[in-house]
Structure 1
Amino acid sequence: METTLNGSRASAAVGDSGWRYLLGGLRTAVPVGSLAQAAEVAALAVAACADDADRHLALDIRRGRVLLTLQSAEHAGVTTLDVELAHRVSTAVGGLGLRTEPEVATGAPRSLQLLEIAIDALDIAAIRPFWKALLGYADEPGPDVLVAPLVDPLGQGPAVWFQRMDVPRPQRNRIHFDLCVPHDEALRRLDAALAAGGRLVSGDRAPAFWVLADGEGNEACITTWQGRDG
């Protein structure tokens, strides 16, 4: 029976095979030497997922690597089947002498990541339709539309989510970036941002997220799945 997994269970189930849990999905990269090899990897991944490919697998083929995502379209999250499929894909890719890994390419300066845009709002219901129409986005599957992020149906742009404010905050930016990184990448990224002139605004909710700011006070968050299962 297919069961939805929380972040800690999903991460533990696939970490050794080079997949990482990010924003409700399992993600990995396969470094390749050519587009022809990338196409071969993609075909192997689809074959490994068999009849479940259309409902669980997403692919992004670029020069130098293939990005793979596994997520249940029905549950908008990771299930036990996604974990099984991840291991199948890793085994199939290994047959080519390649490997699934969290780095986007061998020697790359960073690992996998996903960008979200967060908008602070006093009345989410009033402004959410504007952003949905402007961006041509769709509702992420879920029971509560106001809580669910807006997502690009073509998978090209970052998700947009809304954070409720109690009172106006005119002296603070109202739109900020949330950068979701693998849990084992977060501290390295945090240190790099601080060394580049940033400052730590708050680490009270770490490792779920750290709030950072640039030299002029514009804020951004580094986020992980950790600290969210409770």
Structure 2
Amino acid sequence: MPEWISSRRFHDEPGTSGWHVLYGGAQTVYPTGSFATGVEFIRRIAAVTAEVGREPDIDLRPEAVVVRTAATPGGRLDIVDADLVRRISAIAQELGLEPDPSRLHTIQIAIAEAEGVHTGDFWVAALGYEAVGGLLVDPLRRGPRMWFDEISTPGRGRTHIDVAVPNDRAEARVAAVQGAGGRLADGSNAPAWWTLASADNHGIDIAAWGDVDDDA
């Protein structure tokens, strides 16, 4: 059986500094400065995956490499993820690469549904997603995952976007949104998450809870 670990336990493991637990698993961004450096970084990561028994999702761009690992499609972590992260961090150090959490965030879409209404099959057919528990996920984990928010509160009938950021960067992101014309619609759940709205009342949640969650 997998040894499941919480976000907080993940951060307590050695070699995980610079990584954060957002929607979809443990992840970070490594600025590389060149496409060639990114390719070499990925080559070295690939060499250790067989030993660990876990293959991460890797996004290669000319300026950076994004790495994400999780034991399940929904983003649950086990001790193997921590081991893989430790090895990737060591490879990065060998190449002189440092993680840059300021570039890291993950987007999720919350689909508003009235009580008793279920539209999951519609979204699966339209987007080519797969149902995983109460979530819908892109099989290749490229697009934002989706979940369903049953709306019973009058006045909150819109689908909204959730943006997960590293816990220590959430308040700065909230301040930036407010500085760009957003308003705080609901701060009662802070510091787990903040609900903000644009000038024309489009909702967005800035989420910080996942990075420090105690539940495995």
Code of the aligned partner of 1:72: A
Contact 1:26 1:69 in 2 (8 A): yes
TM-score by length of 1: 0.83
Task: Give 2:201's aligned residue.
Answer: 217
Checking the alignment, whether the CA contact within 8 Å between 1:207 and 1:226 is kept in structure 2 is no
Change (3 A) 1:101 1:12: farther
Amino acid at match of 2:203: E
Q: Secondary structure, in 3 states, of the residue corresponding to 1:192?
A: helix
Structure 1 moving runs of 4+ over 4 Å: none
Preserved contact between residue 23 and residue 164 of structure 2 (Cα < 8 Å): yes
Identity rate, percent: 34
Alignment CA distance shift 1:13-1:155 (3 Å): same
Q: Unmatched 5+ residue regions in structure 1?
A: 104-110
- The one-letter code sitting in structure 2 at the alignment partner of 1:120 is A
| 1:229 match: secondary structure | coil
Structure 1 residue 50, shift from structure 2 partner:
2.5
Q: 1:160 aligns with which of 129, 143, 146?
A: 146
| Residue 126 (structure 1) shift | 2.7
- By relative contact order (CA 8 Å, sep 6+), the higher-ranking structure is 2
SS at match of 1:211: strand
1:63-99 deviation digits (Å, cap 9, x = unpaired): 1011001111378411111111111111012111222
Q: CA RMSD in A?
A: 2.3
Gaps of 5+ in 2: none
Distance 1:124 1:45, change over 3 A: farther
1:33 equivalenced with 2:18 (yes/no)? no
1:56–1:82 Cα contact (<8 Å) kept? no
Structure with a larger share of its residues in strand: 2
- 1:56-75 alignment, distance < 5 Å: 56-73=55-72
C-alpha separation in 1, matches of 2:13 and 2:186: 31
CA contact (8 A) 1:207 1:227 kept: no
Contact 1:30 1:101 in 2 (8 A): yes
TM-score (norm 2): 0.88
